[in-house]
Structure 1
């Protein structure tokens, strides 16, 4: 993973998110649109979380300390879980607000101002999506990947807002004009329902890492790597444990050997096996915590 590119992407994304958030709040108040105001508040919280992600991204690059002897990797899923939880609560509150608006008969809004907002934000969101997607091909960052998905979601939903606002503007001088007050609240309800899968997915993945649920792909890869190793004479069986926390993958393997194993070759034979296993793992060395132990007693497995 390229830390410099990750930092650069997050800084640019945070600046653009703050700009979009400011536009959302300003245009939401000017047009009287709750859906645009929600979009602005959502972006404001997202910007705050991006700043926190940027801080954690810098923190995890530091060396371990006396207090955090295993490093700072575990902060990444904690920040992701916090981010997703706050956004999910915001979506739920906004959805209830939308239903309340529909029950109260909706509200009039300035569609021309709303259309202007949607055009500007669409351009910004699509631009950031393509920029970050291209950059993350080299950065290979989980933070940037999540951020890229967020920009795509924002772009698609703002596009839907643009189409809806244009349609509502055209309805004003027709027999359907009586329905235009409901457009904003209906859009807000749809907007929140479309946004909800994003924070739900973020929370689900983050909680899986916080609870140290073994990633199936990594577990399968470790077992596949051990197949040729276990053909060596003197190796009887093994146990393995894997977990993922942020960008670090923890891999522990305990090998049961005969009492005479590697008696002549010594530590060199053990390091040879360690190198053989490591060479078959796809996780880069800087993103894994790999521990291999040998024992002749089954109780240590």
Structure 2
């Protein structure tokens, strides 16, 4: 199964869950279920955008459209991936913060009545769907290794946790009806929504942090160390003076620029010899060459490398 297939199937299921959440939320009077539906709808929209970006990166499109886009984006589409991931994380966190404010406001104004029967039925079905999709997509991503699918798995996991908490709260609220605690039932829905939001607000932060690091082209220390090690071996093997390495990770793409300082006055070499050194370096770096932008230059003037 490909990345695009996983995301397409996930999008369909998320839209189904979102529509059901908003509908059941309005029918049962539950703000927490409405929030669950809106949260799922936001996730579905961002997953759709992720699918489009994935298609651009892997160039799964018509040749005519591909040629037109390549003319406008000659450096590739990798930079779109962290933008989408970061925006998705920010929107999900923002939705949770807004829902928390609404939940606190509802608690301060006496809560709200709720049809626990419909709420329990909705929550039970969604928990099953979310757990199934999270497990299925996580297993598929073991082979795919996609950041988009990983974020989608996290979204389904969060949805399962959110709806599972709602299910437990609704069952407790239903059990409280007709007892000495019946007067507390209007507070069940806003209280559980507030608690769930407090848990969910920080969850997308690691994704946002990594996306910002990619957007700002912050150099990964381990990646830089590995490239420097390979470059030093090339310097020693071929008698160069030094090297300069500039690396960044942008989504799934790796951008690498290597400059080697060659001693002046050396006898000229055929271009084939320099290309052979480039091939040697490329093989040593390895990785997914389809998502690697590798530039290797040779110069006797260090100013060209700095």
User: TM-score under structure 2 normalisation?
Assistant: 0.91
> Which structure 2 segments of 5+ residues have no match?
60-65
Deviation by residue 1:211-241 (Cα, 9 ceiling, x = unmatched): 1111223212212322322322421111111
User: 1:296 maps to what in 2?
Assistant: 300
Asked whether 1:41 is paired with 2:38, we answer yes
SS at match of 2:71: coil
Structure-1 separation of matches of 2:190 and 2:37: 16
Deviation by residue 1:14-54 (Cα, 9 ceiling, x = unmatched): 00000110111111112111111100011111111111111
Deviation by residue 1:246-295 (Cα, 9 ceiling, x = unmatched): 2211011111111245x365334323332332223252111110111111
Report deviation, 1:127: 0.7
User: 2:129 maps to what in 1?
Assistant: 124
Q: 1:177 aligns with which of 172, 178, 182?
A: 182
| 2:219–2:248 Cα contact (<8 Å) kept | yes
User: 1:266 maps to what in 2?
Assistant: 270
Asked whether 1:286 is paired with 2:290, we answer yes
| 2:4–2:51 Cα contact (<8 Å) kept | yes
| 1:91–1:192 Cα contact (<8 Å) kept | yes
Q: 1:58 aligns with which of 50, 55, 64?
A: 55
User: 1:31 maps to what in 2?
Assistant: 28
Q: 2:6 aligns with which of 3, 9, 13?
A: 9
Structure-2 separation of matches of 1:177 and 1:282: 65
| 1:234–1:260 Cα contact (<8 Å) kept | no
Counterparts in 2 of 1:238 and 1:110: CA distance versus 1, 3 Å? same
Asked whether 1:96 is paired with 2:104, we answer no
| 1:99–1:185 Cα contact (<8 Å) kept | yes
| 2:131–2:160 Cα contact (<8 Å) kept | yes
Counterparts in 2 of 1:162 and 1:278: CA distance versus 1, 3 Å? same
SS at match of 2:2: helix
SS at match of 1:230: helix
SS at match of 1:231: helix
Query: 216-225 or 242-251, which moves further after superposition?
Result: 216-225
RMSD of aligned C-alpha atoms?
1.8
Structure-2 separation of matches of 1:165 and 1:216: 48
The number of equivalent residue pairs is 297
> Which structure 1 segments of 5+ residues have no match?
none
User: 1:19 maps to what in 2?
Assistant: 16
Asked whether 1:108 is paired with 2:113, we answer yes
Structure-1 separation of matches of 2:188 and 2:147: 37
Deviation by residue 1:91-112 (Cα, 9 ceiling, x = unmatched): 1111110110111111121112
| 2:235–2:260 Cα contact (<8 Å) kept | no
| 1:10–1:50 Cα contact (<8 Å) kept | yes
Structure-1 separation of matches of 2:18 and 2:113: 23
